[in-house]
Amino acid sequence: MKKKFFFWLFLFIFLTTFYFDLSKTNVLEFFTIKNFEIKNTENTDIDLAYSKLEKFKNNNIFLINNDEIASSITDLDFVSDIGIKKIYPDKIEISINEHKIVAVISNKENKYMLSKEGHIIKNYNDKFNSLPLIYGKNTENYFPYFYKLLNDINFNLNKIKYLKYFESNRWDIFLKDGKLIKLSSDESEIKESLADFIAVYSDKKFEQYKIFDFRVKNQLILK
């Protein structure tokens, strides 16, 4: 009821404020969608997005459903969430919240982009070549939790060359400087082990070691 009230109120104010020759002007056409503006995109295919929105042009801006507009482009790569704003009389503004790509899954001959939430984007883009590679089966299911652990202890992700996930539910981290961190399969120990590694990583006494093995509880084996 409120929407209808405001619609007729707006229409009344509009018609009494501006002077139209109603014999020549179709008032309803004045409120048809003529333009779209997409904002906040970095990786989304904008041309494809605009082409999907074309079908909504010339629809009445008051009657068009926001969810219908959003659903037409939610399947595009990188799109996570969409905000719709109607700018009267004839424009729709769309704000896109994109998936943050944090790693690349390497699977045989293919590479896929992986977001921090575990969302996979299969149309690979070379601009993400500098991100850590991930090897292992179904890593998209396990990586979000592991990624959160790395962030919680401020682990420098830029130092990671690649990660390998084992079905025994554990990770190996290969750093760009050649060092290898072997973690336990016990999730309760992973955070502490990573914190211990950070503590010794900058200590010159440990520079000679290449392998930091935390698989045995309460032990650090150096090689």
Indicate whether 118 and 213 sit together in one domain.
Answer: yes
φ/ψ of 11, rounded to 5, equals -65, -40
Q: For 106-133, what is each residue's pLDDT tens digit?
A: 887 789 999 999 999 999 999 999 999 9
CB atoms within 10 A of CB 137: 10
Query: Quick check: 36 and 94 in contact, CB under 8 A?
Result: yes
Q: For 83-100, what is each residue's pLDDT tens digit?
A: 999 999 999 999 999 999
Range of the domain at 77: 2-98
Q: Is residue 143 left, alpha or beta, with left meaning phi > 0 and alpha meaning psi from -120 to 50?
A: alpha
Q: For 6-54, what is each residue's pLDDT tens digit?
A: 555 565 555 555 544 544 456 667 789 999 999 999 999 999 999 999 9
Indicate whether 93 and 108 sit together in one domain.
Answer: no
Indicate whether 125 and 43 sit together in one domain.
Answer: no
Please report, for the domain that includes residue 52, its CATH number. Answer: 3.10.20.310
Of all residues in the chain, what percent are helix, strand and coil, respectively (each to 5)? 35, 30, 40
pTM: 0.77
The partner residues of 60 in beta bridges, in order of sequence, read: 32
Indicate whether 117 and 206 sit together in one domain.
Answer: yes
Domain count, the chain: 2
C-beta pairs of 114-123 under 8 Å, 24+ apart in sequence: 114/139, 114/140, 114/143, 115/80, 116/144, 116/147, 116/148, 117/80, 117/144, 118/143, 118/144, 119/80, 121/77, 121/78, 123/77
Task: Give first-to-last CA distance, the chain, whole Å.
Answer: 73
Indicate whether 21 and 54 sit together in one domain.
Answer: yes
